[in-house]
């Protein structure tokens, strides 16, 4: 079946550090891939998406590239801010329409 | 354009009771999905409705049910509540259903506590 695996958290970084959150997936066919972010007490917000191999999604300084050969969709940001502290979820969506989420990675950025 | 609205935001119920949660999708969106979020299990898919029909169903007991109305608003019901049903219930709205590149927009969730 389809599944998403994210790196274990929490990830603790200093402000302006480089961020990578690893995400790999298992899926039949060619799913679309998403990153969502959840701030404390809130629902999920779509951060970025990629719908086919080699697509790069980007938003608010975050980037992720759909790598079919390694079945990965790692999230990166060159310089994190305290306001980026949140839980990040990698997800895939296949033709069944169902969104499958990873376990989430908590990011804490310290000043 | 209004976002996804879930009501109520917080609920406290007693074991054995039932509860109904409501979700109003973004105007024009016809697909509504429900997810349960807990610290132990993460985000788990409950079901999806599209044009008043259930399209997908997750692996939850029959105590969890839902429906969608002609205006695309959706409700989910949990009967005979158990302590383990305590969770954040999230609703997601999409323009179409069953299409892999369709973006899903989430509401703020309903925090259900069963005591």
* Angstrom distance (rounded) from CA B109 to CA B21: 10
Name which of A57, A56, A74, A66 is nearest A18 in CA terms: A74
Is B109 an interface residue toward A (CB < 8 Å)? Answer: yes
Residue A97 is predicted with a pLDDT of 76
Q: In whole angstroms, what separates CA B81 from the centre of its chain?
A: 16
Q: Do B104 and A99 touch (CB under 8 A)?
A: yes
Q: How confident is the model at residue A42 (pLDDT cuts 50, 70, 90)?
A: confident
* Angstrom distance (rounded) from CA B95 to CA B28: 7
Residue B75 is predicted with a pLDDT of 98
* Angstrom distance (rounded) from CA B25 to CA B40: 28
Name which of B56, B46, B62, B52 is nearest B112 in CA terms: B46
DSSP B84: G
Q: What is the mean pLDDT of residues A58-86?
A: 97
Residue A106 is predicted with a pLDDT of 96
* Angstrom distance (rounded) from CA A58 to CA A27: 23
Residue A37 is predicted with a pLDDT of 97
Residue B48 is predicted with a pLDDT of 92
Task: Provide the 10 A C-beta neighbour count for residue B12.
Answer: 11
Which parts of chain B have pLDDT scores under 50? none
Residue B97 is predicted with a pLDDT of 61
Name which of B61, B76, B82, B77 is nearest B23 in CA terms: B76
Quote the minimal CA–CA distance from A107 to chain B in Å: 16
Tell whether the model's pLDDT for residue A1 goes beyond 90: no
Name which of B47, B42, B36, B44 is nearest B81 in CA terms: B36
Q: What is the mean pLDDT of residues A82-102?
A: 91
Tell whether the model's pLDDT for residue A95 goes beyond 80: no
Is B92 an interface residue toward A (CB < 8 Å)? Answer: yes
Closest Cβ opposite residue B105 in set A46, A101, A103: A46
Residue A82: helix, strand or coil by DSSP? helix
Q: Is the Cβ–Cβ distance between A57 and A49 less than 8 Å?
A: yes
Quote the minimal CA–CA distance from B21 to chain A in Å: 15
Q: Do B99 and A99 touch (CB under 8 A)?
A: no
């Amino acid at each position: 079946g389809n599944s998403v695996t994210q790196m274990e958290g929490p990830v603790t970084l200093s402000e302006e550090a480089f961020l990578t959150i690893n995400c790999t997936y298992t899926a039949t066919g060619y799913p679309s891939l998403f990153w969502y972010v959840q701030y404390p007490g809130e629902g999920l917000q779509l951060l970025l998406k990629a719908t086919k191999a080699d697509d790069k999604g980007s938003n608010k300084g975050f980037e992720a590239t759909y790598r079919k050969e390694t079945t990965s969709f790692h999230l990166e940001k060159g310089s994190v801010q305290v306001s980026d502290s949140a839980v990040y979820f990698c997800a895939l969506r296949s033709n069944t329409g169902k969104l499958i989420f990873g376990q989430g990675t908590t990011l804490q950025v310290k000043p | 354009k209004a976002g996804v609205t879930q009501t109520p935001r917080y609920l406290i119920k007693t074991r054995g009771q039932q509860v109904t949660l409501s979700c109003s999708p973004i105007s024009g969106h016809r697909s509504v999905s429900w997810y349960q979020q807990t610290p132990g299990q993460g985000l788990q898919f409950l079901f999806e409705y599209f044009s008043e029909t259930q399209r997908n169903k997750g692996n939850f007991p029959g105590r969890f049910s839902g429906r969608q109305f002609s205006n695309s608003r959706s409700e989910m019901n949990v009967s005979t509540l158990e302590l383990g049903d305590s969770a954040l219930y999230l609703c997601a709205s999409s323009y179409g259903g069953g299409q892999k590149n369709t973006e899903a927009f989430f509401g703020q969730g309903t925090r259900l506590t069963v005591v």
